[in-house]
Every structure is written in structure tokens, then in C-alpha cells.
Amino acid sequence: MNQFEMQDRDGSMDDVIDLKSIIELLRRQIRLIFLTIFIVLGVALAYLVTVTPTFTAQTLVLFDPAQKNLLDTDQISTSAQSDNARIESEVEILRSTATALAVINRANLVADPEFGPSIGMRQRLLTAIGLGSDEFRTGDALLKSIITRFQAASAVRRRGLTYLISVAVTSENPERAARLANTMAEVYIESQVQAKVSSSLGARDILQGQINAGRDAVTASDAALDQFIETNLAQLEADAGNPELARLRAELEALRDQQLSAEVTANSAVAALEAQDFATLANRLGDQALADLAQEREQLERQLGQLAQGSQQEIDLRNALAALEGDIEERAQAQIGDLRGELSTISGQVTDFRADLRNELLRSDLSSESLAQIFELQQEAAIARSQYQTLLSRVRDLEAQAGLQVADSRVVSPALAPNNPSAPNTRLILALALVAGLGLGIGLAFLNEYYVGGITSAAQLRDLVHAPVATTVPLSLDKIDQQTSLADKVVSEPLSPYAESIRRLRASLDQGFRKRGLSKDGDLNVGGHAERDGRIVMITSTIPAEGKTTLALALARIYAISGKKTLLIDADLRKPSVHRQVGLQPEFGLIDYLKDPEQHYIASSFYTRDTDTDLSLVLGAGRSNVPTDQLISSTTFDAMLKEARRSFDTIIIDTSPLVPVVDARYIAHYADAVVMPVRYATTSQADLRSAVQAVTEAMNPETDFYTVLSHQQYQQEGNRYDGYYLGYGAGQD
């Protein structure tokens, strides 16, 4: 089994690529790599030219986790874990939507050209093609978009494990970036203070309800004590036997009668004033001057009723009446005020007499039961009063604390307008573009080398098909006549690079035959029969126009020149072209013989000799109009090859391409060696893989397989051989 079969016939390929192979691959694809780098760098430069630079300003805020109360200098100890939790909480508050909204309102970002409403590129394109609306968003949608932009432009981070918080804002304007960073810090600190104030005032409001209840409790407890004393005063006086109690009780009753009388007078006077019953008002207050004014008013009312409405006298009299009523009301209000002042004085005296009476009772010799009841009521009143005073004191403390709150954070480094933009980072972008371009270029180089591009070197061809590359045929730019062939160079220019490349191919074939023992005296197995015959070399290709016919003619001539009996068979029945390259036009061809082998006269037409060498030729005459695979797989063709083996040392068979036509697959099992030329930078790698798989499946396991890289620029020992063209005119293969 040959080297190719040992590597590939069992499906296991040697995928190891050494460093030298990689370097050679990169050298072959250097143009693609540099082009990719140039394109990526061009895109990066275009981005750098078109992008708007942005500036980042940063404010440093120091957070102090210690509790601060100016009314209480004692500090509460905290733990590191709780401090970290508080700092992280403050960072999240700075990042919150509430902080962003406060900054937007204070800085009026709704009217800012950078953060305010705008139409993006996508919306513009949709509007341009009639799929979008050119109306600005309003309301909540507008506010949400502004908040989103501002939060995207701001960054809040804690500096390591310190108590420092970095507040950074990025903007197209350096002054705006610094202003917004400082505003964000200010809003955060103010909200921190406001939260403390709100907490204190909220606690005060809660205690205020308790104060009202405490006030009612104090009043109720004092009233209960006074009610007990007044209700049981006669019995207490009798138990105590204290004449002072009788005096105090008498004076207290007199004050209470006086208080009641004053209350009745004041209430009736107020009712009369509201009803404008001035006579009753004067009578209740006992004021003669007020009675005279009331009588004068009645006279004016009677006179006013006798005058015609709208007359000057009626108007003057009505004005005088209004002025008189004003005097009456003013004098009455003054009298009622004096009366209420007197009532307040009496109430104070009643309170004092009650206190004196209570104290006198406590100093008197009362029964134990009476003293216990009085003491119990007195204690309840004292407790209620103490609780009320405590609540009042706490409320005053909270009100004072609300006015003395300080922030837990302070700005230690305000933001300044940056001098240099923070983005784009030109050096970093160019460096990343260079690295990305290099990586992408290398990736595309491997992709182009092994999957996409054409074959550009013998090493690439060898690595791709895992088969020996017998030779590389140089590219020729010589113009070849339609009636001549580049294969003539092996005769006319035997020392040319082209002729040398064909001799290398022959040497590779002969070495392979020698290793396998395939000489004229060796054993050869064809179709299961052991014979001592010549060697068959099949020339095929992946697709048309890869130089297989020219290569077959040149190789056959090289063998013929060396003295070997050589036969070239044009078995490309779909498109025979050997006859054109040797300058002949037979009337009949191989296809005619295969159709009707009994017409022996045909053989004399398609079997001939080369005019330049001692090469025997089996030519084709025209394209087939019937399926050729049936003719190739016929017994006639098999018999012809057996006869050729017995008569010739070397038989070269030019077959059809493998991808478009199946004929070569029927010939492959006859071959002792298969040669496949691959055109430089033209043949698709996918087609090449498909063709190699097809031919290796069709040929015998011991058959040698070689590839030839054709149409390649030739370079040897530093001398470049340009101007050699392996091709042929239009329509030549």
C-alpha cells in the first residue's frame, strides 16, 4: 500500500502541522493577512475620526459610618461588617433612579442637547423610509429615556475597601461632565440630610399624637381629684374638723357662683350681638351708654323707613346708621372682652382655691380611707403629668435634632473639567485593532488555505490531499497557437524549466514503480489476472482547464524520447483535445471504435504516431452524443488496454475531469499510477477534496497517486522564471 493509502485509506489523516508548515502557510497568505489588518485598521481609524470624544469628570465622596447626633456626643460603636453594608447601600443609593431624577431636575437635563430628547439614527432611517414617526417622546417615556442616558453616562464605584466613593460622569463637554459629577454628589448629600430630617420630624409627628393623649390624661386625672374632693367635701370637712376648710369651701362656692354668672352674662351678650338685638345686649352688659346708642339706632331706623329709596337723605342716613352699628359692635366687643377677662381671673382664683383646699385637706386629720383615696388620685395625676412632660421634652429634642442634622458623607475632592478626553482611547483602539486584524487575518489565512481559496503552493497541496506532489509546472505567458501545444517545449526546448518539471514527474512515477517492482519483467495484477505487461498512468483533473491534456502529451513525449515504447490514449470522450495539440484532425476517433469495433478500417484513422517523437497515439475526433461511461466500461475498452499493455512499456491515458464526468472512475482501476494536475489559485478546495475522494475510492489499493501543481510562477535558486505558460488557447485543456 502506498504512502497516500497508508495515511488516508482508513480515514485517519495526519493533522499534525509543524512550525515550519505554519510559517510557510502564513508566508503564502501574507497578502491576505496584511489586507485584513489594513481593513481592520481602516475601520478603527474611521471610527476614531467620526466618533465624538467624551470627557469623564470624577468627584470623590468620603462616607463616615459613625452615627452623628449633635445633641448627644457619645458615639455608637460599629463593626466592619455593618460599615461595609452601609457603604454598599450608599453606593446603590447613588446609582438609584431617585438620585438620577434629582440631578436631572436640578441640572435641567430635559433641555440639555446631550441628554435631552433627540432622534437617533435608527429613528431617522425609519422616518426617512416612512416607517417611523418624527415626533419626540413626551411625558414618562421622555423622562425614562433621559434617566437611561444619564445613568449610562454615570458610574459610581467604591474605591477598594476604603470609605471613598467615586462619582464619575461622562459627557461630550468637559465642563458639563464636572458640573454633573458635582451636582450628583451634592444631591446625594442633601438627600442624606433630608432623610435624617424627615426621620426626626416623622418621629415627632408620631409623638405628637401621644402628647395629645397625655394632655387629656393629665386633665382627666386632675378633674377626677377635684371632683372627688368637691363631691365629698362636706364629709371630709366633718372628718377633719378643720374650720379653715369651711371657710375655703364657702369662698370656693362664692367664686363658682360668680364664675357661673359671668359665663351666663358673656354667653347671652354674645348671642344678642350675633342676633343684633342691641337693646338686650345693653341690658345684659348693664352699660347705659350702649343702651343710649341702641335707642339712637332705633330712631335712625324709623327715620330711614320714611325716606324714599335712593334719595340723598336716605343714603346719608343709611351711612350714619352703619357707622352707629359699628360703634355699638365695637363697644360691645370691648365689654365682652372685659367680661371674659374677668371670667379668666375668676377661673384662676377657683383653681387656686381648689389647690389650697387640696393642700389643707392633706394637712388635716382625715381618716385613712379618705387619705388613701386622695393620695391615689393625686399619684395618678402626678404620673400623667410626668409622662406628659417626658413626651413634651422628647418632642422638643426631636425638633431640635431635625434642625441640627449633618450628612454622613462629604466631598473630599470635587470634580474639575478634564483636559483630555477619556474616550476614545486612540492607542488602545489601534492596538486592539492591530491585534484583532492580525488574529482575523491569520484565521482567514487558515480558512483560505484549507477551505476557501485556491491552491497556491506545493506544500499546501500536499497538506490538503495528503498525497505526494510529483512536480510543479511553471506558468507560461507565451502565446500558443491553436494548432500547437506547450507540450512541444519538451522537444523544442528540452532544457527549459517546463521540460524539467515534466521530467521530475516521470522520475516520481518511475521511482514509485521501482519500489513496487513494476518493471517490464515484474508481475502486474489487472482485473485479477497476472500478466507481465506495461504500466498504465492515468491523467485526470478535478475540473476542466487544469492542464491535464497538455501534461499527458508532455509526459508521453518524455517517455518516448527516453526510448520507451509509449502510447497516449485520448480517453476524454466528452471533449477530446489531443488531436488538436498534435496538429491532426482524424475522421474517426476512439469513440467510434468503441461503438462498433468490427469496423477495422476505423482503427487506421484514430491510431497514429506523433510527428515530433516516436510516440503512438489513440486520438479522439469529436464530442460524444451518447453516454460515454457505458463505452469506457465495455469489454472492448478492456481488451484494448490489455493489448496495449502487451505492446507498450508505458500507456498514458488522458481522461475526463472527475467532478463533472464519471468516466475517469471506470478507468482508475486499470491504472498503476494516477496523476492529478491542480491549477494554481483556481481549483476549489471543496471540488478538489471531492475529486480526490472519488478517484481514491475507484483505483486499486496499491495504485500510486500523485498531484501536480500547474500554472505556478517558477522560482529556482533565486532566479525567477516568468513568461512560461502551461495553458493553451481558448478551448484547450
**Whether domain 456-721 has CATH 2.40.110.10:** no
Instruction: For residues 143 and 252, give the distance between their C-alpha atoms in angstroms, rounded to a whole number.
Output: 73
Quick one: pLDDT band at residue 248, thresholds 50, 70, 90? low
Q: How confident is the model at residue 125 (pLDDT cuts 50, 70, 90)?
A: low
Q: Give residue 613's pLDDT.
A: 93
Q: Residue 672: which residues within 8 A CB-CB, separation 6 or more?
A: 513, 518, 524, 535, 536, 537, 703, 704
Write the CA distances from 213 to 170, 223, 376, 392, 597, integer angstroms: 56, 15, 21, 12, 131
pLDDT band per the 50, 70, 90 thresholds, residue 321: confident
> Which grid cell sits at 688?
478538489
Confidence band for 73, pLDDT divided at 50, 70 and 90: low
Q: In sequence order, which residues have a C-beta less than 8 Å from that of residue 438 and are 6 or more positions away?
A: 33, 37
**With bands split at pLDDT 50, 70 and 90, how would you rate the model's confidence at 12?**
very low
Q: How many CA atoms lie within 13 A of 266 on its CB side?
A: 16
User: Is residue 424 reached through a cis peptide bond, with omega within 30 degrees of 0 on the bond before it?
Assistant: yes
Q: What is the pLDDT of residue 703?
A: 95
pLDDT band, residue 240 (cuts 50/70/90) = low
Judge whether residue 729 has pLDDT over 50: no
Over residues 231-249, the mean pLDDT reads 66
- As to burial, measured by CB atoms within 10 angstroms (0-12 exposed, 13-18 middle, 19+ buried), residue 160 is exposed
- Non-local CB neighbours of 634 within 8 Å, separated by 6+ positions: 594
Can you give the pLDDT at residue 242? 63
* Pairwise pLDDT comparison (25 vs 136), residue with the higher score: 25
Mean pLDDT for the stretch of residues 109-128? 72
Predicted confidence (pLDDT) per residue in 541-577, tens digit? 999 999 999 999 999 999 999 999 999 999 999 899 9
Residue 633 has which C-alpha cell? 466500461
What pLDDT band is residue 721 in, cutting at 50, 70 and 90?
very low
Among residues of the chain, what percentage have pLDDT more than 70?
81
For residue range 182-200, list pLDDT tens digits in order.
999 999 999 988 888 888 8
Q: Is the pLDDT of residue 1 over 70?
A: no
What pLDDT was estimated at residue 572? Answer: 93
- The answer, yes or no, to whether residue 64 has pLDDT greater than 80, is yes
Confidence of residue 725 (pLDDT cuts 50, 70, 90): very low
Q: In which band, very low, low, confident or very high, does the pLDDT at 37 lie, cut at 50, 70 and 90?
A: very high
| 3-state secondary structure at position 508 | helix
Beta bridge partners of 719: 716
Tell me, what's the pLDDT at 237?
Answer: 64
Closest CA to 197 of 406, 392, 393, 408: 406
What element of type H or E holds 667?
A: helix 663-667
pLDDT the model gives residue 716:
40
Mean pLDDT throughout 705-720? 66
Distance CA 441, CA 449 (A): 12
Helix (H, G, I), strand (E, B) or coil at 722: coil
Q: Is the pLDDT of residue 459 over 80?
A: yes
598-628 burial, b for 16+ CB within 10 Å, e for fewer?
A: eeeebeebbbbebebbebbbbbbbbebeeeb
> Per-residue pLDDT tens for 645-702?
999 999 999 999 999 999 999 999 999 999 999 998 888 888 999 999 999 999 999 9
- Residue pLDDT, tens place only, 366-419: 667 777 777 777 788 778 778 878 888 887 877 777 777 788 899 999 999 999
Per-residue pLDDT tens over the stretch 575-587? 999 999 998 888 8
pLDDT classification of 174: cutoffs 50, 70, 90: very high
Average pLDDT, the chain: 81
Which range, of 4-13, 269-278, 485-494, averages the lowest pLDDT?
4-13
Q: How far is CA 701 from the centre of its chain?
A: 57
Extents of the domains making up the chain: 216-403, 456-721
Higher per-residue pLDDT: 723 or 130: 130
Give me the mean pLDDT over the 632-636 stretch: 91
Q: Can you tell me the distance from the alpha carbon of 424 to that of 427, in angstroms, rounded to the nearest whole number?
A: 9
Distances (CA, A) of 552 to 70, 573, 581: 106, 15, 11
Q: What would the mean pLDDT of 500-526 be, rounded to a whole number? A: 79
